[in-house]
Structure 1
Amino acid sequence: MKHLFLVCMAAFSLAAAGSLSASTILFDLQGTGGVGLLNTSEPGSPAGGTGGEIGGGISYDDVTNLLTINVGWGSSQGFTDLSSLSNNSHLHGPTTNNNGNGFTETAGVLFNLTRSSNATTGGTITQTLTALSGAQETDLLNGKYYINIHTVNNGGGELRGFLVQAVPEPSRTLLGMLGVGLLMFRRSRKA
């Protein structure tokens, strides 16, 4: 029984440790074409490459209000090459509706994003944006922002993906629930 108690306490401790990073919210890229930065998610983009999250992905720290973006495109990053050189990259928003009304809405440029390269074969955006205002944070959490990579062939945008909150990793929560459940089981056996 002592061993069971130690396992329960370890599970509870791991779950509690997970709550220390609760200020970081993770995001995935999503669009009408699926998950990632996709040409099929960009209205009117007949051909093009693909991209998506790299490294740490996309995260928002709701204490410092900093949005960190780590995305890439092209074969050098494990995606499909662009149809032509990239010439602009932006964070657009806010759209009128949450998640762009099914990821279909467009919006103006909110922030310019700095690319590591203009090459069709690949590049990255690794950038932390300055502190978002309260209204911008609300729009971000409601899925009203999207990343757009523009190219010479597709000036209106070739790759697009909305920032949607990622489903949280359940393992720490499950460990905590397991720990509490085992403690309750142990108490009921004593009674």
Structure 2
Amino acid sequence: MKLLNPRGFGLVCASAAVAVGLVLAGCSNTVEGTPTVNQAEVTTYKAEAASSAAAASSAKAAAAVAKATADNCDPFRKSAGNAVDRYNEFVDAHDASAADQLAKRDAAATALEDAAKGVETQLTATGAALPADLVGKFTEYVTAARALSAEIRKLSSGASVAPLNDASKKVNDALTAVRNACPAK
């Protein structure tokens, strides 16, 4: 059996390629005329492009709002929860006239001040991305928490607890409003 000659085989392949190229070139034809733009398609394309850009912008804005909401609501739950725990410990100690009543009073006032400061700091950090109604609810909480902290610090052994109870109700209302406005976890 005789093997193929590589040079001869290469020459046959090259000749075949040239022949196919000549046939294809001979079969082609040109299109006469002047190219024009289909205005209906251009208008449709522009409308679709604008719609797509608007959707992308809307999605980006929604993502920013979701991030700002999470950035505020998540830390709020922790700091407000801590403040509520310290306040309840103080109320229990005050009602029982416990020996550590003053220490728990100061801890409750400090926890409320810290929670208010943390919420306020986070609001400032997120800027305009947070919806205005949620900003208002957080701001009401900050004001109410600071007012309750001030009432706690004023409370002495024989003083009326009515101002403390009023301030506590305002904090509870503000806390509930924020919790209801924040997405559930």
Relative contact order, CA 8 A, sep 6+: which one is greater?
Answer: 1
TM range (shorter): under 0.3
Normalized per residue, the structure richer in strand is: 1
TM-score by length of 1: 0.27
TM-score (ref. length: structure 2): 0.28
From the CA coordinates, give the structure whose radius of gyration is larger: 2
